[in-house]
Chain A
């Protein structure tokens, strides 16, 4: 929430929405986010290098391996993109409410229930409709359930004063219990003896890969969702109203903005994206809903959203970066004999440093749009 209150973008875009801004002013504002972000990543990597030195390994080898594993070849790039795909959607589940000043951390719940809803919606339609139509129904079912789930946290926050961070997290546990109940009970495929699952989608009903790539369609869906969210936030009156509510709830209420509807609506949209991530997992990866849906994508999405400063467009490169770190983690384990936790240490270090560097926004005059406005 404090992140949003300090966000210089809010007041400026609010005040300058009607006139054309000079190019330099525009550039300075964005250069600040890029420069501070990059410096933060460099500081984070430097601290992590110290950690690696302390445990007696070579940071140079490590970073070489990270590059090889994450982005060093076409295979590695596709590996990173595959891992980034679900994070795009789950990060939106955190980023959109954050623009309203809410901290939603329970996207995992919407992912798993979205997956179950998608699998359940698919069953009666198999064989009756072509795959493309089936995907629409599966996606709608997942988005409705995911939207209801996270929308509930937003609703409770505004109308009952329940802390949305806690409620969304607790709802995630309930969601996982519900998923287990459904896949072990009414929706269980009797053939899935030792790994309870819903009936698998036939191969011809799987979503498949993007042509020419070894990455499933979830990546395209995620990128489109990020672009649509950015337009919603930055170029519509709804997004504008939401940002005002996020900046100062009372001011928004005095202006007559429907804060309660905005909060419920935007949390529901956010949840529907996480639900869609669950649908993609079922339709493009797993083929059925089962406990593997609770793979932590909802939680990694929190990290992605914060690193992207809740900017839907910035989520795209950040998710790919984290996908790359994740992809290279395996190579680090295999080649350097380091435990899996090494990558978690890196992610944690980056996270802390980037949040710390938030305090530098507005501290450097060179990035001050007013400076460039005057000189221009």
Chain B
């Protein structure tokens, strides 16, 4: 943690206002502080902008800043994590005059964005994923990311009340720390309602593989799960399949209530619009963009979908109380004593991690109550 310049939304705004000179964009240097400063911003997505998931969440955030005065927005979707994304960034810089780029996919960072940042030191790059390290990565680059596992914990609370079979299901892409945090948080949320609940997880192995996602959803429901959530790039297939089978659904990435109708309980959504607005305000006022920006529910980086009609009054009460706790920054999802699903103690009784605890970022276990394996 010592190496990381930890910054939440509040001190991010303070630094923005300070207006340090380093890292300032050439087109803006010396320009009067004005919300009207013309600025071309490029957004790059790895999948379709309307995937009801990861990419849509970013595109919705981009749409918020598109409405801001003086902003020209250029967007490109379905850009693979190859030399293609390097050329897309260069093309936005050379042909569109973009001065600030948001390559939003995790795999764009190394080597692609770093290569372009070295080549175009006057352009600012901000990457979604939290990989930036001070001293190691250039000053014209940076990361932003959200802590969303508390959103999955809240999903778990809604699921815990809705489940009759006491079995809930999770369709996951890959057994990496970010995904494992979400699976574990979902189960822990449900267990805060009823400690007898178990969560079965199926890994599809890919971020976007519709056929396997549908198969996994069906398999979970066949084995008795009656509430389904997921962590894949585009939850559309999971949500529609689960709702079609009559299971309840908790959303992820974006609001999927339109796909599941009354089967939609709630969902953990990104609120990138807030994050992008802060970046743009800082850029337009000639201030310094943060290099390492992170936040969760309390910072407005993450939000919950409105509760669906199937959520009981009792569930609503506990959900809202826990949401208030999270918003106040007082919720700790991962706290001891906690065992993994092989019986090993992973968090001792004296520890309770805040959502931004660095230890959580290398999570490699599934907690007790999760049925499944990371390998």
Determine if A196 and B174 form an interchain contact, defined as CB atoms under 8 angstroms apart.
Answer: yes
Looking at B74, B77, B91, B177, the one whose CB has the most chain A CB atoms below 10 A away is: B91
How many whole Å from A17's CB to the nearest CB in chain B?
Answer: 41
Determine if A79 and B90 form an interchain contact, defined as CB atoms under 8 angstroms apart.
Answer: yes
How many whole Å from A359's CB to the nearest CB in chain B?
Answer: 33
Determine if B77 and A340 form an interchain contact, defined as CB atoms under 8 angstroms apart.
Answer: yes
User: Cβ of B88 < 8 Å from any Cβ of A?
Assistant: yes
User: Cβ of A258 < 8 Å from any Cβ of B?
Assistant: no
User: Cβ of B313 < 8 Å from any Cβ of A?
Assistant: no
User: Cβ of B332 < 8 Å from any Cβ of A?
Assistant: no
- Our pick among B75, B81, B361 for the contact of A193 (Cβ within 8 Å) is B361
User: Cβ of A68 < 8 Å from any Cβ of B?
Assistant: yes
Encode contact with A along B287-300: 1 for CB under 8 Å, 0 otherwise. 00000000000000
In the complex, chain B residues whose CB is within 8 Å of the CB of A295: 80-82, 84
Query: Given contacts A295-B80, A339-B77, A340-B48, is CB(A194)–CB(B129) below 8 Å?
Result: yes
Determine if A194 and B90 form an interchain contact, defined as CB atoms under 8 angstroms apart.
Answer: no
Determine if A75 and B176 form an interchain contact, defined as CB atoms under 8 angstroms apart.
Answer: no
Query: Given contacts A193-B362, A333-B77, is CB(A326)–CB(B84) below 8 Å?
Result: yes
In the complex, chain A residues whose CB is within 8 Å of the CB of B76: 330, 333-334, 340
- Our pick among A195, A285, A287 for the contact of B106 (Cβ within 8 Å) is A195
In the complex, chain A residues whose CB is within 8 Å of the CB of B83: 82-83, 85, 216, 285
Determine if A327 and B87 form an interchain contact, defined as CB atoms under 8 angstroms apart.
Answer: yes
User: Cβ of A184 < 8 Å from any Cβ of B?
Assistant: yes
User: Cβ of A69 < 8 Å from any Cβ of B?
Assistant: yes
User: Cβ of B178 < 8 Å from any Cβ of A?
Assistant: yes
How many whole Å from B60's CB to the nearest CB in chain A?
Answer: 17
Query: Given contacts A79-B87, A83-B87, A340-B48, is CB(A290)–CB(B82) below 8 Å?
Result: no
The CA of A296 and the CA of B80, in the complex, are separated in Å by 9
- Our pick among B95, B107, B174 for the contact of A331 (Cβ within 8 Å) is B95
In the complex, chain B residues whose CB is within 8 Å of the CB of A69: 91, 95
Determine if A196 and B176 form an interchain contact, defined as CB atoms under 8 angstroms apart.
Answer: yes
User: Cβ of A349 < 8 Å from any Cβ of B?
Assistant: no
Determine if B205 and A177 form an interchain contact, defined as CB atoms under 8 angstroms apart.
Answer: yes
**Which chain A residue shows the least CB distance to B74?**
A334
User: Cβ of A164 < 8 Å from any Cβ of B?
Assistant: no
User: Cβ of B111 < 8 Å from any Cβ of A?
Assistant: yes
Query: Given contacts A83-B87, A292-B82, A296-B80, is CB(A286)–CB(B111) below 8 Å?
Result: yes
- Our pick among B91, B107, B129, B178 for the contact of A327 (Cβ within 8 Å) is B91
User: Cβ of B348 < 8 Å from any Cβ of A?
Assistant: no
13 CB-based A-B contacts, threshold 8 Å: A69-B91, A75-B95, A76-B91, A79-B87, A82-B86, A83-B83, A180-B205, A285-B111, A292-B82, A330-B76, A330-B87, A331-B91, A340-B78
9 further A-B contacts with Cβ under 8 Å, apart from A327-B87, A339-B48, are A69-B91, A82-B87, A83-B87, A184-B175, A287-B110, A287-B111, A327-B91, A330-B87, A330-B88
A residues with a Cβ closer than 8 A to B are 68-69, 73, 75-76, 79, 82-83, 85, 177, 180, 184-185, 193-196, 200, 216, 281, 285-287, 290-292, 295-296, 326-327, 330-331, 333-334, 339-340
What 3 pairs across the A-B complex have the smallest Cβ distances? A292-B81, A340-B78, A334-B74
